[in-house]
């Protein structure tokens, strides 16, 4: 996020958000072509199987979820990037790290998940 502070003087928040998402699309596409077909899923370890499994998308059941997640993330970045340009990262970062408190609470409320250590 220090990069955002440095580039905020010359780039708008929309340019920064577009650059972030464009970079994520490029990286994900390259990553998909390298390991997305499941060819490296040769381990018996469950974590390795999860990471290297074949990628697939069931659009009928996931399109609303993906659209909602994308919209929420875009709004979050449109608010977060100006925060880093206005204040120092030392001031903004604690608020960003508060997600460590909010995510278990949201998981418990919406998905009935109880966090374990």
**pLDDT tens sequence across 92-113:** 888 888 989 999 999 999 999 9
pLDDT at 54: 87
**pLDDT at position 27, please?**
94
**Model-wide pTM > 0.85:** no
Instruction: Name the domain count of the chain.
Output: 2
Lowest-pLDDT range, 56-60, 67-71, 79-83?
A: 56-60
Whether residues 56 and 112 fall in one domain? no
Give yes or no: residues 11 and 68 share one domain. Answer: yes
**Co-location of 113 and 82 in the same domain:** no
- Backbone dihedral region of 59: left (phi > 0), alpha (psi from -120 to 50 degrees) or beta? alpha
Do 27 and 79 fall into the same domain? yes
Q: Which domain holds residue 60?
A: 2-86
Determine the average pLDDT of the residues in 30-34. 88
Do 79 and 94 share a structural domain? no
């Amino acid at each position: 996020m220090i990069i955002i502070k440095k580039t905020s003087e010359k780039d708008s928040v929309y340019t920064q958000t577009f650059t972030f998402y464009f970079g994520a699309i490029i990286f994900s596409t390259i990553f998909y072509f390298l390991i997305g077909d499941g060819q490296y899923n040769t381990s018996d370890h469950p974590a390795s199987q999860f990471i290297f499994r074949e990628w697939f998308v069931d659009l009928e059941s996931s399109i609303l979820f993906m659209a909602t997640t994308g919209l929420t993330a875009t709004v979050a970045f449109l608010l977060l990037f100006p925060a880093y340009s206005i204040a120092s990262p030392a001031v903004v970062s604690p608020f960003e790290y508060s997600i460590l408190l909010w995510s278990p609470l949201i998981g418990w409320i919406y998905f009935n998940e109880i966090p374990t250590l």
